[in-house]
Amino acid sequence: MKSTTEVLGLGVSDEQLQVRVAWLYHMEDLTQAEIAARLGLTRLRVNRILGDCRASGLVRVSLASRLESCVALERQLVREGGLAEAVIIPTPEDPEKLPSLLGMAAGDYLSQYLARTEVSVFGVGWGATLREAIRHISPADRPGLWVTSMMGGLTQGSELNSFETAGELARRLNAQCAYLAAPIYAGSAASRDTIVAQDVFAEALARIEAVDLALLSLGDLSPRSLLIRHGLPRDVTAKELRAAGAVGDVLGQFLDAAGQPIAHPINDRVIGLPSARLAAVRTVVLAAGGANKRAVIAAALRGGIPKVLISDEDTARAALKLARSGADMP
């Protein structure tokens, strides 16, 4: 019988082969035949491995072990990326499964974090990955906790909107909820200043400033971005943002490859916490992945934005390489 090394050429242990087979079968819904073709195994061997996983307890409700390469990358990100922690999952064969899988990982991390850490104000952004993360946070009874959106929202309804995201998280934790009931962008910097100066926003903005745990994602400049599709003002285009040096956004504020806000009027129109103030938040958790987000994740790392990064293996590895080199990626 061939060894795992001979089969995969990866030098991994038999347990790691079991974990990879179990991940593809249980988490990515690949058939045994598809797994066999992908890993260069026979279908019979895949079937036996899955049986061994169940018999040994490796597979229960979730995987009881993790890929060695992901764990090694987590340690590298902490060591070289300036993070307190990292959670890296295998990159799925189907990119459409990534938000759900990242959401599961983020939900598990946050459940453990909340169980061991006192949190007063939990701030949240928006997007598909965060929606999935909230669905996988363990329900709790935290009536003394405040959940708040950290930015304005879309003017059209969407279950990915910041209002719905904050509300669902508060319900999940039986916590109090606050919204920043404003659009993401004002019509101008002057109108933004006028809006946030209103008394009605004073309490909401003060609570956002007091956030000690933030769950955020990152947007890129491709049509996959919800912000690019639906949130940008009509007088701003992705093309001009890219020309100004933007690689993506956090909280609606566009960043350059160094993780700094670009010199563009759009950033002065944002209604929300300025990205520069994220450094004062005790724990900023960024959950983002996919090839289209490598450049903006690298920018966030270079800018020191996250304390915790939750991503997939291929994306995180490429982003760390970019962050070290300071280069951009199309």
CATH of the domain at 23: 1.10.10.10
Inside any domain, residue 161: yes
* Res 53: pLDDT: 87
**Rg value, the chain, Cα:** 21
* Res 159: pLDDT: 56
Inside any domain, residue 61: no
Class of residue 158 by CB neighbours under 10 A (exposed 0-12, middle 13-18, buried 19+): middle
- Judged against a pLDDT cut of 70, whether residue 1 lies above it is answered with no
Q: Tell how far CA 61 is from the center of its chain.
A: 23
| Together in a domain, 203 and 246 | yes
Confidence at 4, pLDDT banded by 50, 70, 90: very low
| Together in a domain, 279 and 304 | yes
| Together in a domain, 291 and 144 | yes
Inside any domain, residue 79: yes
pLDDT tens digits, one per residue of 100-139: 999 999 999 999 999 999 999 999 998 889 999 999 999 9
pLDDT tens digits, one per residue of 31-46: 999 999 999 999 999 9
| Together in a domain, 15 and 88 | no
Residue with tokens 């719905």: 164
* Res 127: pLDDT: 87
Instruction: Please say which residue of 35, 56, 77 terminates a domain.
Output: 56
| Together in a domain, 44 and 96 | no
- Judged against a pLDDT cut of 90, whether residue 11 lies above it is answered with no
Inside any domain, residue 158: yes
Average pLDDT for the chain:
89
- Judged against a pLDDT cut of 60, whether residue 61 lies above it is answered with no
pLDDT tens digits, one per residue of 65-89: 778 899 999 999 999 999 999 999 9
Confidence at 5, pLDDT banded by 50, 70, 90: very low
* Res 184: pLDDT: 92
* Res 54: pLDDT: 81
* Res 84: pLDDT: 97
| Together in a domain, 113 and 12 | no
How many angstroms separate the CA atoms of 194 and 292, rounded?
A: 36
Inside any domain, residue 330: no
Inside any domain, residue 63: no
Residue with tokens 């991390």: 109
| Together in a domain, 19 and 125 | no
Considering the entire predicted model, what is its pTM?
A: 0.83
Residue with tokens 């701030």: 123
| Together in a domain, 208 and 279 | yes
| Together in a domain, 49 and 72 | no
pLDDT tens digits, one per residue of 206-224: 999 999 999 999 999 999 8
Confidence at 64, pLDDT banded by 50, 70, 90: low
Residue range of the domain that includes 21: 4-56
Percent of the chain scored above 90 by pLDDT?
A: 73
- Judged against a pLDDT cut of 70, whether residue 229 lies above it is answered with yes
* DSSP assignments along 112-154, one per residue: HHHHHS--SEEEE--SHHHHHHHHTSPP---TT-EEEESB-B-
* Res 59: pLDDT: 77
Q: Tell how far CA 301 is from the center of its chain.
A: 13
| Together in a domain, 135 and 18 | no
| Together in a domain, 30 and 156 | no
Q: Which of 197, 151, 159 is nearest to 178 (CA)?
A: 151
Confidence at 318, pLDDT banded by 50, 70, 90: very high
| Together in a domain, 169 and 235 | yes
Confidence at 2, pLDDT banded by 50, 70, 90: very low
Inside any domain, residue 32: yes
Q: What is the mean pLDDT of residues 266-278?
A: 94
pLDDT tens digits, one per residue of 143-181: 999 999 999 887 665 556 778 889 999 999 999 999 888
Confidence at 238, pLDDT banded by 50, 70, 90: very high
Instruction: Please say which residue of 14, 31, 56 terminates a domain.
Output: 56
Inside any domain, residue 62: no
CATH of the domain at 262: 3.40.50.1360
- Judged against a pLDDT cut of 80, whether residue 24 lies above it is answered with yes
pLDDT tens digits, one per residue of 239-252: 999 999 999 999 99
Instruction: Count the domains in the chain.
Output: 2
* Res 244: pLDDT: 97
